[in-house]
């Protein structure tokens, strides 16, 4: 039995589909949009801290978090495919009104917090590249993302974001080509857990930056972008397999990019005893060590990551707001447009309302840490309910694995929250 078959049985998928290369390419897309969420500026900061402080030793955290992410994101897509509802719509339909409104209102706050970090990351990149003041960079980033979201179809945005992800990957391949990497130590660190002194805060930060509330809402929505929902069981099971391959491939891309960030930080900063605490510091330090081209490529990749992740945060916010009203995501509808506006403008406004923008990043992570368990537990409850899912409910083993992951993430987020508030 293949690894795919063993994992698929956890969610009642049967045989893997017989795919041609064209089939696989045709169904790749939704997962890559989700991938943007865990290669965003917040991840950059966490990964650079991991690599610059502890070398290659925390690469295993990226592997572990990616495995957990595959299960959770597949489960979110599972909901969308089998019910034809995104997570927000399903919560509104199947939970008590007060409960669903509370959960979805906090999810909107999480989207705003996410947009804050993404827009700020893009603005920082503009400052690195063109010396544009941070405030102006925020306005430029917000304007460009809003224009993209309100004037382009989902399919066009999907292609653009996939292009951005590809360019970010190429940028880190370029960075890796400039440095001497200890691949033997990297290979061991990917699979062997290590806990160097003082690492727990960074471990929690890396894990927390990978699994994000808005991505679960987003994936349940994007699973419908290929019109995968259908009442026929055979059709649903076939599409679940396509989606599972898309998720594994896309999360694998994210794993590779996050790993590359840590490897670059380990080979450049840790090797030279430089502890990176800010993104700007990383760019300024790269230039004397690897040359000006390296720092420019780094900043361009950060800009692409900030813009792409701001787009997906806006889409997630739009779907949550529309779902609260029992409506599907549709950027031609006023409620989706309002939801996207609240997310993006709200995130940008907070940057201007606080004296220290980087303090805003800390606040945004606190909000995400508080909200994440609510979204994860809601998702698992919905996908484990026969009333919601019919015969496509999670298997007993699948439920056990999902709840284990949810509890681990909750404990880690509580620990991270405690550490931030000390």
| Helices within 131-232 (DSSP H only) | 134-151, 154-177, 183-191, 200-210, 213-222
For the CA atoms of the chain, what is the radius of gyration? 20
Euclidean distance between CA atoms 113 and 115, whole angstroms: 5
Tell me what pLDDT residue 236 has: 67
- Give pLDDT tens digits for 366-407: 777 788 889 999 999 999 999 999 888 999 999 999 999 999
Compute φ and ψ for 223, nearest 5 degrees. Answer: -60, -20
Interatomic CA distance for residues 209 and 47, integer angstroms: 9
Model confidence band, residue 13 (pLDDT cutoffs 50, 70, 90): very low
Contact of 202 with 412, CB cutoff 8 Å: no
- Helix ranges, 291-395 (H): 292-324, 334-353, 357-383, 386-389
Report whether pLDDT(36) > 80: yes
Q: What is the DSSP string of 5-63?
A: HHHHHTTT--SPP---HHHHHHH-SHHHHHHHHTSSHHHHHHHHHHHHHHTTTTHHHHH
Nearest CA among 309, 340, 308 for reference residue 322: 340
Instruction: Indicate the number of domains in the chain.
Output: 1
Per-residue confidence (pLDDT) for residue 15, from 0 to 100: 44
Cα–Cα distance, 58 to 47 (Å, whole number): 9
Higher pLDDT, 290 or 337: 337
Cα separation, 74 vs 206, in Å, equals 20
Side-chain half-sphere of 137: how many Cα atoms within 13 Å?
Answer: 23
What CATH number has the domain bearing residue 286?
1.20.1740.10
Question: What percentage of the chain carries pLDDT values higher than 90?
Answer: 52
Please state, rounded to an integer, the average pLDDT across all residues of the chain.
Answer: 85
Residue 231 confidence (pLDDT) above 70: no
Predicted local distance difference test score (pLDDT) of residue 14: 41
Closest Cα partner for 116 from 368, 301, 293?
Answer: 368
Q: By residue range, what is the domain housing residue 381? A: 3-421
pLDDT category at 25 given cuts 50, 70, 90 is low
What percent of the chain shows pLDDT beyond 70? 86
Q: Which is it for the CA torsion 148, 150, 153, 154, positive or negative? A: positive
pLDDT higher at 257 or 416: 257
pLDDT interval class at 123 (50, 70, 90): very high
pLDDT higher than threshold 90 for residue 119: yes
Q: How many residues does the chain have?
A: 422
141-150, 201-210, 309-318 — which is least confidently predicted?
201-210
pLDDT digits (tens, 9 = 90+) for 143-186: 999 999 999 887 888 889 989 999 999 998 998 988 899 999 99
Q: Per DSSP, which regions of 191-264 are E strands?
A: none
Mean pLDDT of all residues in 416-421: 68
pLDDT of residue 210: 79
């Amino acid at each position: 039995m293949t690894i795919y078959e063993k994992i698929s049985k956890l969610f009642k998928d049967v045989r893997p589909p017989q795919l041609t290369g064209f089939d696989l390419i045709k169904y790749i897309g939704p997962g890559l949009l989700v991938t943007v969420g865990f290669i965003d500026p917040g991840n950059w900061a966490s990964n650079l801290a991991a690599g610059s402080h502890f070398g290659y030793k925390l690469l295993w955290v990226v592997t572990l978090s990616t495995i957990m992410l595959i299960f959770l994101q597949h489960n979110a897509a599972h909901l969308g495919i089998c019910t034809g509802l995104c997570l927000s719509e399903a919560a509104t339909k199947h939970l008590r009104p007060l409960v669903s409104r509370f959960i979805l209102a906090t999810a909107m706050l999480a989207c705003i917090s996410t947009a804050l970090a993404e827009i700020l990351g893009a603005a920082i990149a503009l400052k690195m590249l063109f010396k544009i003041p941070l405030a102006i960079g925020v306005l430029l980033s917000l304007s460009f993302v809003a224009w993209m979201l309100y004037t382009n179809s989902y399919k066009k945005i999907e292609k653009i974001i996939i292009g951005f992800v590809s360019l970010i990957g190429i940028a880190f391949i370029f960075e890796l080509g400039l440095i001497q990497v200890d691949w033997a130590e990297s290979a061991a660190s990917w699979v062997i857990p290590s806990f160097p002194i003082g690492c727990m805060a960074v471990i929690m930060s890396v894990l927390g930056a990978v699994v994000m509330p808005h991505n679960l809402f987003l994936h349940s929505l994007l699973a419908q972008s290929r019109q995968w929902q259908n009442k026929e069981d055979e059709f649903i099971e076939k599409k679940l397999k396509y989606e599972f391959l898309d998720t594994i491939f896309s999360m694998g891309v994210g794993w590779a990019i996050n790993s590359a960030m840590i490897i670059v930080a380990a080979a450049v900063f840790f090797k030279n005893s430089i502890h990176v605490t800010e993104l700007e510091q990383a760019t300024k330090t790269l230039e004397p060590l690897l040359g000006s081209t390296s720092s420019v490529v780094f900043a361009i990749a950060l800009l692409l990551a900030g813009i792409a992740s701001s787009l997906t945060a806006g889409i997630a916010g739009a779907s949550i707001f529309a779902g609260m009203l029992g409506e599907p995501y549709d950027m031609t509808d006023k409620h989706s447009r309002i939801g996207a506006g609240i997310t993006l403008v709200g995130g940008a406004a907070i940057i201007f309302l606080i004296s220290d923008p980087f303090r805003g990043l800390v606040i945004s992570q606190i909000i995400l840490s508080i909200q994440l368990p609510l979204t994860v537990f809601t998702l698992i409850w919905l996908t484990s309910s026969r009333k919601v899912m019919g015969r496509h409910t999670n298997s007993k083993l699948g439920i056990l694995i999902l709840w284990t992951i949810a509890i681990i993430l909750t404990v880690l987020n509580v620990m991270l929250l405690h550490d931030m508030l000390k």
